[in-house]
Amino acid sequence: MTRPRPDRPATIYDVAKASGVSHQTVSKVLRGLGGMRPETRERVEEALRRLNYRPNVGARELARSRNRRLGVVGYETFESSTSKVLRGVSEVAAAAGYLLEIVNVDPTGEVDSITESLERLNASDVAGVLATSPTRNVREALDRIEFRMPVFLDVNGDQAVSDDGTHRSISAGLVMDHLTALGHSRIAFVAGPEGWDSATNRETVYRERVEALGELPRILGRGDWSARSGYEAVREAQGLDDATAIFVANDRMALGVLRALAEHGIRIPNDMSVAGIDDIPEAAYFSPPLTSVHIDFTDAGQVAARSLLSLIEQPDGELPRYPQSRLIARSTTGPTA
């Protein structure tokens, strides 16, 4: 059972862990909002009572009176999605009269180091904190801190939380729907790096879907989001002859997968279908053009910023909705032979 440390009161993160839901769901319950199953609400309310949760009204009032600056937990990565999210955040913040204070962390680095960086934000006069594309270590660091201001975790709209608390990727579901509609059941997977929420949620959906088809998961390798890692995963993989499709956890790794398949003499999509996620601008110019799920990261960043501003300025209001992802079918996927 998850309990707060005895030297501090329970936070919404403690309640979220104890009830098996996201902290956003706990926030909705506290504000009396709908959009969830009755049993989910009951589970959260029971955890609130058990942990003796008390809203930190003083912290909320303090946040409202702070300087008009937002703290952003950013990552120094090669991923264009990260810069697009930050662009969206910056646009909304500027329009609302807020400046950004960005703290870059290694998302898979030591939890103590991440915690130290976050503590600096907590000690500053920012009105709220936004964590983009959280990882397991970032979540753990956030959970260690009793923040004096609202905190919002951005998942780019690609995360659905079931009643049992399991997080699943919406985009991964779109990919699997597409491949199975084409008749594929022997689907292999190139996973993202351990510790990233997005990678974990996409792999969860993949495993559930292939097992529902009566197949065993075929994990070809685990990459680091780079094209090189996707190439190496397939170049060194065993049992490719058994699969008819490969689901790749992001587009850059898919680029490496396409090259490795070409070197193996495997025709795409005649012999093997390939699909990715993110729909990066280059995806339409891969050879062949890549089937992918489009995520509007700039819009997602804008929604994340609006959500944080809502928690700061209108805590009883409904949080804005993320843009819907959509699958873009191109030349790398086709029906099974």
> Is residue 313 very low, low, confident or very high in pLDDT (cuts 50, 70, 90)?
confident
Delimiting residues of CATH 1.10.260.40 domain(s) in the chain? 12-63
Starting at the earlier edge strand, list the strands of the sheet with 218-222: 218-222, 187-191, 245-248, 273-278, 291-294, 326-328
> What average pLDDT does this structure show over 114-135?
88
Which amino acid, 187? I
CATH 3.40.50.2300 maps onto the chain at 69-160+298-313, 161-295
pTM above 0.85, yes or no: no
d(CA 284, CA 332): 10
Predicted confidence (pLDDT) at residue 331 exceeds the cutoff of 50: yes
Rounded mean pLDDT of 119-129?
Answer: 88
- Non-local (6+) Cβ contacts of 150 within 8 A are 60, 63, 127, 128, 129, 308, 311, 312, 315
For residue 79, is pLDDT > 90? no
- Which segments of the chain are extended strands (E)? 69-75, 99-105, 128-132, 151-154, 159-161, 167-169, 187-191, 218-222, 245-248, 273-278, 291-294, 326-328
Distance CA(328)–CA(174), nearest Å, equals 10
Tell me the pLDDT tens digit for each residue of 271-304. 999 999 999 999 999 999 999 999 999 999 999 9
Pick the CATH number of 161-295 from 3.40.50.2300, 3.40.50.12780, 3.20.20.100, 3.40.50.300: 3.40.50.2300
Q: Which amino acid is at 141?
A: A
Alpha carbon distance 98, 337 (integer Å): 56
Q: Which CATH class is domain 69-160+298-313?
A: alpha beta
Nearest 5°: phi and psi at 67? -60, 155
Q: What pairs with residue 75 in β-bridges?
A: 105
Q: Which CATH superfamily is domain 12-63 in?
A: lambda repressor-like DNA-binding domains (1.10.260.40)
- Residues in a beta bridge with 300: none
Most confident range (mean pLDDT) of 117-131, 229-243, 290-304 is 290-304
Chain-centroid distance, C-alpha 190: 17
Only one residue has tokens 């996201």, namely: 22
2-17 burial, b at 16+ Cβ within 10 Å, e below that, comes to: eebeeeeebbbbbbbb
